[in-house]
């Protein structure tokens, strides 16, 4: 359920300059603080704090998250953030333990574009990171361990409705869920207890070196759209996986030692979505299934294959769950009393 609130206020001129500058809000339980710089906000955030980021470019450099934390941006889809601008983080985020004896837990990241990667661990001694939710974000590469092939200790990692413009390296993370994401390039190193459901795998690597899926074992793929460039370039070093109700661009046969059923194969790439070309992501494309697609109501749950299936489909615009500014009007002049009129329309959200 959504509710829209219209807020009209008059602000005295001497504080009106604040509307032209970005503010980062930190909520520590009942205490709220406001900062100009991300480093200051992160330093002031206590265990369990919530950080609210505005739209606009924010330089974060190399940022280390070492405490339980929630970070909300204003969104990353240009069309749906016209009032605020997208939240653009320039840099890379590392999640790591502050104490090698104590796991880092309960990280929630939602609603921003990051120019670099999101990574777990900076050494083999600080990559025990658990209960991470990454939702409605856009990132370059995603590393769930120190390096592409390092086996880490990450558990309970959920990546939902996000755009991954680069590659995903699982690092053997356990109890992993990837749901309703668009993943542009390759997907490697998962070893058990991993579920990949209702995603779109674009296979934008376009290289025999970067095989789409590699070193994945004991995992389940269901209700995904998979655009491997060719069947020979799709899998390498895979075993004991499950493939159910996926829609494939090319021919697909269940690999030896794996199981599966109800896969839809040999679908021309230009016929799969309403509007999409090639193997790269763009906000201009429409990833709803094309009219007449065999993927309609063909998922394991009876809904559609792809990101617009399930009881809660991919959210148009990728707006985070916190209240969202959908319009604002700020007068360019003060009245005779030195006040300025500000009108803001805010939409409350429940998902």
Q: What is the CATH number of the domain that holds 324?
A: 2.160.20
Domain extent, residue 255, equals: 3-348
Each residue of 279-302: pLDDT tens digit?
899 999 999 999 999 999 999 999
> Which stretches of the chain drop beneath a pLDDT of 70?
1-22, 205-210, 326-332, 335, 337-338, 343, 348
Report the pLDDT value the prediction gives residue 13, as an integer from 0 to 100: 37
Report the pLDDT value the prediction gives residue 229, as an integer from 0 to 100: 79
Each residue of 11-66: pLDDT tens digit?
443 333 333 446 999 999 999 999 999 999 999 999 999 999 999 999 999 999 99
Tally of domains in the chain: 1
Q: Is-contact 142 135, C-beta < 8 A?
A: no
Radius of gyration of the chain (CA): 22
Task: Kindly report the pTM of this predicted structure.
Answer: 0.91
In whole angstroms, what is the distance from residue 129 CA to residue 122 CA?
A: 12
Q: Is-contact 120 95, C-beta < 8 A?
A: yes
Element (H, E) at 52: strand 49-52
In whole angstroms, what is the distance from residue 174 CA to residue 194 CA?
A: 7
Structure tokens at 245: 């109700």
Report the pLDDT value the prediction gives residue 210, as an integer from 0 to 100: 65
In whole angstroms, what is the distance from residue 288 CA to residue 266 CA?
A: 18
In whole angstroms, what is the distance from residue 280 CA to residue 249 CA?
A: 14
In whole angstroms, what is the distance from residue 195 CA to residue 289 CA?
A: 22
In whole angstroms, what is the distance from residue 19 CA to residue 333 CA?
A: 14
């Amino acid at each position: 359920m959504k509710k829209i609130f219209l807020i009209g206020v008059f602000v005295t001129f001497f504080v009106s300059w604040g509307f032209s500058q970005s503010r980062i809000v930190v909520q520590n339980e009942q205490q709220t603080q406001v900062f100009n710089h991300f480093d200051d906000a992160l330093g002031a955030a206590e265990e369990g704090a919530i950080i609210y980021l505005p739209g606009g470019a924010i330089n974060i450099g190399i940022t280390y998250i070492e405490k339980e934390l929630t970070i909300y941006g204003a969104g990353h889809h240009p069309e749906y953030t016209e009032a605020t601008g997208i939240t653009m983080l320039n840099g890379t985020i590392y999640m790591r333990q502050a104490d090698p004896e104590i796991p880092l837990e309960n990280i929630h990241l939602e609603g921003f574009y990051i120019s670099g990667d999101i990574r777990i661990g900076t050494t083999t001694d600080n990559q025990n990171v658990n209960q991470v939710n990454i939702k409605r974000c856009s990132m370059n590469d995603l590393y769930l361990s120190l390096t592409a092939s390092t086996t880490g200790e990450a558990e309970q990692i959920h990546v939902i409705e996000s755009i991954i413009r680069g590659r995903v390296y699982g690092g053997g993370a356990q109890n992993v869920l990837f749901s309703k994401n668009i993943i542009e390039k390759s997907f490697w190193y998962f070893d058990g207890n991993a579920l990949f459901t209702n995603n779109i795998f674009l296979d934008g690597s376009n290289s025999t070196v970067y095989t789409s899926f590699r070193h994945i074992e004991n995992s389940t793929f269901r209700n995904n759209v998979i655009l491997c460039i060719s069947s020979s370039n799709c899998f390498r070093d895979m075993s004991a996986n499950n493939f159910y109700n996926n829609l494939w661009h090319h021919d697909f046969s269940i690999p030896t030692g794996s199981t599966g059923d109800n896969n839809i194969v040999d679908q021309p790439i230009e016929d799969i979505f309403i509007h999409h070309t090639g193997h790269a992501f763009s906000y201009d494309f429409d990833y709803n299934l094309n009219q007449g697609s065999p993927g309609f109501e063909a998922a394991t749950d009876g809904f559609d294959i792809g990101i617009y299936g399930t009881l809660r489909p991919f959210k148009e615009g990728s707006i985070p769950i916190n209240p969202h500014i959908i319009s604002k009007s700020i007068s360019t002049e003060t009245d005779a009393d030195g006040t300025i009129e500000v009108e803001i329309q805010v939409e409350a959200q429940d998902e």
